[in-house]
Amino acid sequence: MLKTTDESVAVLVNSCDKYADIWPIFFHLFFKYWPDCPYPVFLGTNEKIYEDPRVTTLCVGPDKSWADSTRTMVDMLPATNLLWFLDDYLLWETVSTPQISDLYARFLKLHANYLRLSHNGGSDHLKPVIDDKLLELLPGIEYRTSLDNAFWRREMLLKLLKSGESPWDMESFGGLRSDKYSGFYATRNNVFQRTNGLERGKWLRYNLPLFKRDGIAIPPGRPVMSRTNEKAKTIKRYIKSVLSPLRPIIRLFNGK
């Protein structure tokens, strides 16, 4: 295990063994589009090892809950801070390492707890900081603890994880728990050009042309979401975005 140094940072890919079939696709795209990634890369799993010399596997044991497994892998990570990925965050364009390094330097300068590397969610509660590149995520904002790509201060992530919770709980109720802390920020633009590969365990159909472009054959055994279901999901996301301004009020009545 690497020695932890002050303000060290590592990439953490959050996963579990039931998604082992997508690891080769994730890492093929990750290293194709970010070949000069300057940070050590770790994959959190249950018991399976991903055999790649560029990746260190953190085995956390059998699943208890998403939050419990995540807490264990974050505890095992030999870094003060982490750059968060989920296992189906598929990169489709080249990553600018100077841009990522600059954002990490800003994260440190701000003494931040969290810097989301995308603009999604809750813009009515944002205010500019430093310049036109970064925004502050004020208490009460929706998705203040979004599991999108982000730099996290490890100790803050550990504070906000609650035993037994799901990723969706973390985004909803973890945000409520975060309201008593400062130091949450986001970029004005999406830094990583990527898509979500899966939803509810199924490949999202809109990724198929991108797989074809990159010569990727998806492994058998995992279904592709039907056009009808994918269209319904799109409509549901649109309705959710329209109702987004009401989320802070809803959270006050349903908070944990």
pLDDT one digit per residue (tens) for the chain, 256 residues: 334 446 799 999 999 999 999 999 999 999 999 999 999 999 999 999 999 999 999 999 999 999 999 999 999 999 999 999 999 999 999 999 999 999 999 999 999 999 999 987 555 566 777 788 899 999 988 889 999 999 999 999 999 999 999 999 999 999 999 999 999 999 999 999 999 999 989 999 999 999 999 999 998 889 999 866 555 555 455 445 444 445 545 545 555 4
**Per the structure, how many domains does the chain have?**
1
Q: Is residue 67 part of a domain?
A: yes
- Note the pLDDT of residue 130: 74
Identify the domain containing residue 179 by its residue range.
Answer: 9-254
Q: Is residue 4 part of a domain?
A: no
- Note the pLDDT of residue 243: 47
Q: Is residue 183 part of a domain?
A: yes
CB-count burial class (<10 Å; 0-12, 13-18, 19+) for 180: exposed
Q: Is residue 139 part of a domain?
A: yes
Q: Is residue 191 part of a domain?
A: yes
Q: Is residue 126 part of a domain?
A: yes
CB 114 within 8 Å of CB 184:
yes
Q: Is residue 168 part of a domain?
A: yes
- Note the pLDDT of residue 151: 98
Q: Is residue 203 part of a domain?
A: yes
CB 12 within 8 Å of CB 83:
yes
- Note the pLDDT of residue 200: 87
> How far is Cα 199 from Cα 145, in angstroms, rounded to an integer?
20
What is the CATH number for 19? 3.90.550
